[in-house]
Structure 1
Amino acid sequence: MNNFDQLLIDIRNCKLCDKELPLGARPVVLSSVESKIVIIGQAPGLKVHQSGIPFHDKSGEQLRRWLGVTEEEFYDTANFSIIPMGFCYPGKGVSGDLPPKKICAPTWHPQLLEQLTSVKLILLIGKYAQDYYLKTNTSLTDNVQAFHEYLPTYFPLPHPSPRNNIWKAKNKWFEQEVIPVLQHQVKMILNS
């Protein structure tokens, strides 16, 4: 077994915050050293916790539409690694799921990203991922509008959750201006 496979096993067996999680630890990660694009999202929702398959919900359907990829392409780890900020379902909050546990990203992301040497783009989905990686004090909307500034390494996106339909309705420029560039980037990278 190589180091990367052992790392994925270690992540999937992680119990660092098991006692703090309402349903216990069930880390969800999908990755391969061959991956060309990394998706860094928030944390698994309840449906993903139950299935163990990242973005196996309405958010995933929307994200695949934004990326312009099929479900088969999306779950092909030669194409995408899916690495959330928090690997386990954090529980329900007042207005959606609770924030991802803060211990996950610093514990596991550096080890994963160090071995993902084929990566050409990292998608930062939602404010937690953007705050952690972009280290700015700007809003999610400002980050997404300024996506060109973060290329070629990062591409900030809003969360594709149906809860963000209000944001999408207020920011029509996103589907008109950002999505075509995102789809072009993804297509170029996957076809390279």
Structure 2
Amino acid sequence: MEPRPEIPQIAQIYQRLGELLALAGAHFRWQVLPAFEVAFDLRGKAAGQMVAGRSGVRLRFNPVLLRQNWEDFLHTVVAHELAHAVVWWQYGRRAKPHGPEWQAVMRLFGLEPQRCHDYDVAGGQARRLQRFRYRCGCREHALTSIRHGRIQRGEREYVCKFCGQRLEWTGA
């Protein structure tokens, strides 16, 4: 079963997000504050992640690192990921992930712009992805189960960056 934050922690995260979003909205003079999703489903060594696409913005947080580093997580990681969302809403895809726009938003939030956390991740839940062998005209490739699944479902095709041929599954 996935570890989840306690209800009071979730409430505090939403409160922090609301305060920071109001600050950004006032700064950028937004008429309407953007909507976004929050999930506590991130695993592995990353503390947080901002995912933006056609369906909107989603902030993902690692519940294990959240529990182990609660105070700093609430103060820093939540702001870090929301800063990515603010940059996405304000500047679009042309802004670099930790570029000057993101750094300015972090400073607006009253924080030093730092890229990485220094949490102990020894107990991380990084998943091991199965590899599948594919061939092209010049070599063999090992694709993860994610890419293999996309190919099998007909969602994607991958080509070799060296010879340009489409990758074909060897069956192994």
TM-score (norm 2): 0.34
Which protein has the larger Cα radius of gyration, Structure 1 or Structure 2? Answer: 2
Higher helix share: 1
Which is richer in strand? 2
Q: Which has the higher contact order (CA 8 A, sep 6+)?
A: 1
